[in-house]
A and B are shown apart, each in its own frame.
Chain A
Amino acid sequence: METIIRTKNLNKTYRTFQRQPGLWNSLKNLVIRHYNYKTAVSGIDLEINKGEFVGFLGPNGAGKTTTLKMLSGILYPTEGQAEVAGYVPWRRQAAFQKQMSIIMGQKNQLWFDLPAADSFNLLTDIYDLDPGQAAGTVKELASLLGVTEYLNVQVRRLSLGERMKMELIAALIHRPKVLFLDEPTIGLDVVSQKSIRDFLKRYNREEKVTILLTSHYMEDIVALCQRVIIIDQGSIKYDSSLSDLLAKYQTERTIRLNFDRPVQRSALAKLGQLSEFKDEEAVLIVPADKSLEIVKKLLEETPIKDFSFQSAEADEVIRRLLVSGIK
């Protein structure tokens, strides 16, 4: 596999000056300044292969965004090296910038008072694209995202979800090889989240674009990323596939059960922890390593009509990891 992103000992320390409250202190601060040094990223080593879809997870302030900003060339690192698509990002060579793109869920690059189509025309010129080809790309992406009819509507009149879809088109108009997504679904409703997720999944698969995603929504990570990197306090705490993560940290599984006729509470309670129980329905939490064995037993001993493993489990595992810290 071809490595497309590589970093070595990437560090970023912010210097902020400490403000003390009060008028007298404000005056004093003009003369004597106390600086705080905050390490946002410390010693990150990364290797990401072409076409991978990698999720960056971590609490607020963990260093996810700072890492993306260094990889996209917005920020200079304090120390360390990085190479993205063969370039050092912060040298900001045009050849590099034409191969990558970044979307920040909280910032906009589209002109607010104009239809998105006008911004796309501008980007066509900035990236020096063939106008016909760029128009084709816009048309294709807009139809995939279901926003064709809004291309000529002022951006400020669009809903948040439609606007983010336009931002996606803007970021992909030059067909980048590497895409950095910083919370692209923030603040969106469930339907928009899902359609953006579906789009990204398809785009990654079909265009072989390497994508690095940070998100607060576990669903994004679970649905999209084959590989998960957990960052906390500026360094990588975990880096592996999502399935390994689940195998390693998922200690319990939740089974939802439906029965043909009422069953005895005690018949279920002996198999695991009952979190819900009413007549013909129950939710049972069981040790992960015994889950199949227990299902087998249930099938033999109870009048099961239907059963399912609950879907949001990966979320729970990751959430627990973030809360309790990774060992």
Chain B
Amino acid sequence: MKYYFRVWKRFFVNAVSAGAAFRANFIINVVVSFAWIAMSFALVNIVFSNTGLVAGWTKLEVFAVFGIFEIVDGLISLFVWSGIVQIPQLIRDGSIDYLVTKPINSQFQAAFKQFEPSAISTFATGLGIMIYVSSFRIIPINLEKELAALFLVICGIVIYYSLAMMAVTLNFWFIRLENITALLTMSVVTARYPLNVFKGVLEKFVFFVLPLAFFATVPAMVLFGKVPALPWLIIGLFLSLIFIIISWFFWQFGLRSYSSASS
């Protein structure tokens, strides 16, 4: 663990010093994340102009779901996303050859090699929204609930990471599947809304099969006391373990059928 942290620190330092595109990305990123937020806020305002409650959520609670999502998305973007989206390229041009000959986990290297400082804006936006929402004193002062929500946020991050990893692992078999990350981004953005607005099979699907609900909805549900914390903590822990293990084995399986690029 200490060893991995030491290597990560070096990745971090290298990635930041190599980050030539930093400033351009930063501005684009700020603009994009504000545009998203503005659009989402507008949409929510329209919906709530007709009703006070949607699927049991008030407007401010929905904003809190946004905030949590931005925090989760920001952390993923900061630490692993830019590494993960490069994996299809690494597989295609054979650069992954060097990664698999190193005495450290190849998935770790591929995912954590990059760091995207500009994503700090997404994270900051999320924090800002949470501060704004809490200024209305709707978040219960209850350390247990807050810690439970925090734990579920971590589960959400683990699930997010695993899903992204599984998606790019497909590139070991389908070499030209670089758009898979775009598809993933499209599914992930739905996670910024309270996903229990879905009913029936679809609801079960986003809670347990493709558990996008854990990115923001479930932590918010627990935070606002809409559901009891303990069962969801157990489900969250269980799902995140299942997903990280599957993504792990899937990666190993992918490496097995990797045929390297001819040089």
Could you tell me which A residues sit within 8 Å of B by CB distance? 14, 65, 69, 72-76, 92, 94-95, 97-98, 100-102, 104-109, 111, 113-114, 118-119, 121-122, 125-128, 182-183
Contacts and interface: CB of A to CB of B under 8 A. Distances in A.
Nearest to A89: B101
B199 interface: no
Given A107-B94, A114-B18, A102 B263 contact: no
B103 A107 contact: no
Contacts of A182: 263
Given A73-B101, A128-B3, A107 B95 contact: yes
Interface in B229-263: 256, 258-260, 262-263
Contacts of A128: 3, 103
Nearest to A100: B101
A125 B7 contact: yes
Q: Which range holds the interface residue count of chain B? A: 20 to 34
B100 A104 contact: no
14 contacts: A69-B97, A75-B259, A95-B103, A97-B102, A101-B101, A104-B263, A107-B93, A107-B97, A108-B95, A109-B98, A111-B14, A114-B17, A114-B18, A119-B14
A97 B103 contact: yes
Interface string B34-70: 0000000000000000000000000000000000000
B10 A107 contact: no
Nearest to A95: B103
Contacts of B259: 14, 75
A258 to B, nearest CB: 44
A241 B240 CA distance: 57
Nearest to A65: B263
A97 B101 CA distance: 6
Given A14-B259, A107-B94, A122 B11 contact: yes
Which residue among A69, A74, A92 has the maximum number of chain B CB atoms within 10 Å of its CB? Answer: A74
A107 B263 contact: yes
Contact of B101 (A72, A118, A121): A72
A125 B14 CA distance: 13
B50 to A, nearest CB: 46
Contacts, number: 73
Contact of B6 (A94, A101, A106, A125): A125
Nearest to A186: B263
B10 A74 contact: no
A122 B263 contact: no
Nearest to A122: B10
Given A74-B100, A111-B18, A114-B14, A122 B7 contact: yes
B27 interface: no
Contacts of B18: 111, 113-114
Contacts of A65: 262-263
A73 B17 CA distance: 31
B97 A74 contact: yes
B20 interface: yes
Contact of B14 (A94, A109, A118, A127): A118
Contact of A126 (B7, B17, B95, B263): B7
Interface string B90-108: 0001110110111110000
B245 to A, nearest CB: 19
Given A114-B18, A122-B10, A126-B7, A76 B256 contact: yes
Contact of A74 (B3, B14, B101, B103): B101
Contacts of A126: 7, 102-104, 109
